[in-house]
Amino acid sequence: MPGRRRDRVRSLLLLGALLSADLYFHLWPQVRRRLSPPERLRGCPCAGRASSPAPDSAAASSDPRAAAHNLSRAGVGAGVGVGVGAGAGAARGGGGPGSRLRALFAHPLYRAPDEPPALGPEHLLLDSQEALRYYRRKVARWNRRHKIYREQLNLTSLDPPLQLQLGASWFQFHLGINRHGLYPRSSPIVSRLLRDMRHFATISADYSQDEKALLGACDCSQIVKPSGVHLKLVLRFSDFGKAMFKPMRQPRDEETPEDFFYFIDFQRHNAEIAAFHLDRILDFRRVPPTAGRLVNVTKEILEVTKNEILQSVFFVSPASNVCFFAKCPYMCKTEYAVCGDPHMLEGSLSAFLPSLNLAPRLSVPNPWIRSYTLAGKEEWEVNPLYCDTVRQVYPYNSSNRLLNIIDMAIFDFLIGNMDRHHYEMFTKFGDDGFLIHLDNARGFGRHSQDELSILSPLSQCCRIKKKTLLHLQLLALSDYRLSDVMRESLLEDQLAPVLTEPHLLALDRRLQIILNTVEGCVAAHGERSVIDSGPAQQSLPDSGQAGPTR
């Protein structure tokens, strides 16, 4: 009898300890999040919206810098409405009357219609009915697999099967992609999608496809890893949307060491977030919507994943933090794991693009690809006339592809990204389709250095779109200073401050370097040869000498 009583006491103590642990680690974080004050979402102040003025006639003049100044005078305060797709930063980061971000997106440059306008179905990436049928099949397949998985584990669930919601932000985002960008300027969907990725519950987690392909096949003694290897996960949300999760690996104020090669540097989650905001401010609209989020790695990854390999790489550190690592694709060692505090881990969430079955994409090597070895150089690094060779090769000899490459180089120079080895584009839009600016996590690593070689496509080819130049010149003006509008835009993110002040100020310095490079090209080749006004201008510069990089 005494022995049975002791066993009962031990059982009660054990059950009490388990209940306490569950309350502390699982229930309390949820209660704390629910008790925290909700985010205040400001609506679009549509009442009393002034009609937007027509761009000043000087905008069409031959001097883009004068055009930017004249448009600035015409645009500031002229229109108070902000296109939520391009200007969603005003929702939280700066919606007040003194908002520079709001003034920027009210500027005529950001209200000018796309040319040619995307009107017909041929200008949209997806057919809505085909996409609806495809995703309904995907949802039905996911429900069947989830049911089988739970039956195999003898788990019961009262949750109803998932249903595809036609109004889901991720679905509307996919339907809104057109030949000019990943989202229209005036679309309210982007702000909804960012909000949903921050708040919707996760229902599954898994490795990305490129990491799955490398599991068990990579050589962990290699210095240079295969492409795409980074500790990242695919999270699916309760609305069936998907996002790429990249966890925090190093503090924001920690610069990349000078002795690090660009291809072995850690990837930064905050760089993905900041790249989306910068891309939107530049009016490129080529970076998928990206938001920061605090993720409970136990509840929102470990407990919802069906991947046994991913389950096996979770462990509790000596500091009692829950950690996980990529079993082979990253460094094969637990010291390279990422850890929660003890469960909460911040990271970036980048919205998935439509399935390749619906919207095939072409992956093309960058003509200015770098040498991914510890020694050696590519031709463009030693030949200042390299662009002449590129311009003789299809498709760079007959389309806007080269100008799009230069846009991408300008974007990469601003964020300090040296790792653009490939670019992707939707096959439906042909050779003149826009380039998708994916994988920006190696940006914003070193604010104290400007890597001028990133600008080689601009300095060697001495070509730039007039639209791109006008936006850059506008962002160099004090009323729309790039660092100021970026600072304000990033305030909308849950993980603000996303960038440290030195990184923000580096944007202004690099912007001036770009403008100086264009001025050098104009001095060498003439304005008409350097500044491309659109499809009507077909002439190419006489590039006997490459323009200087300053």
Question: What residues are annotated to the active site?
Answer: 419
* Beta strands at 322-324 and 464-465: parallel, antiparallel or unpaired: unpaired
- The span from the CA of 208 to the CA of 205, in Å, is 9
Confirm whether residue 451 is marked as ligand binding: no
Confirm whether residue 519 is marked as ligand binding. Answer: no
Find out whether 285 and 386 touch, Cβ atoms under 8 Å.
Answer: no
13 assigned binding-site residue: no
**How far, in Å, CA of 418 to CA of 454, rounded?**
6
Identify whether 367 is preceded by a cis peptide bond (ω within 30 of 0). Answer: no
Annotation-wise, does 479 bind a ligand? no
* The two three-digit tokens of residue 256, written as one number: 């990349």
The values of phi and psi at residue 165, to 5°, are -95, 120
DSSP 422-446: EEEEEGGGGGGSPPB----TTSSS-
CA distance 205 to 219: 25
Helices (H) and strands (E) in the chain — how many of each?
A: 19, 12
Q: Which residues pair with 348 in a beta bridge?
A: 246, 292
Which helix (H) or strand (E) element contains residue 460? helix 456-461
Helix axes 466-475, 64-75, angle to 10 degrees: 60
439 labelled binding-site residue: yes
With a CB cutoff of 8 Å and minimum separation 6, the contacts of 424 are 361, 362, 363, 364, 435, 436, 438
Round to whole Å and give the CA distance between 59 and 48.
Answer: 27
Whether residue 489 is annotated as binding a ligand: the answer is no
Q: Does 159 appear as a known binding residue?
A: no
Which region, left, alpha or beta, applies to residue 276 given φ > 0 means left and ψ of -120 to 50 means alpha? alpha
Q: Which residues are annotated as a binding site?
A: 246, 350-353, 424, 439
Q: Which residues are annotated as a binding site for Mn(2+)?
A: 439
Q: Which residues are annotated as a binding site for ATP?
A: 246, 350-353, 424, 439
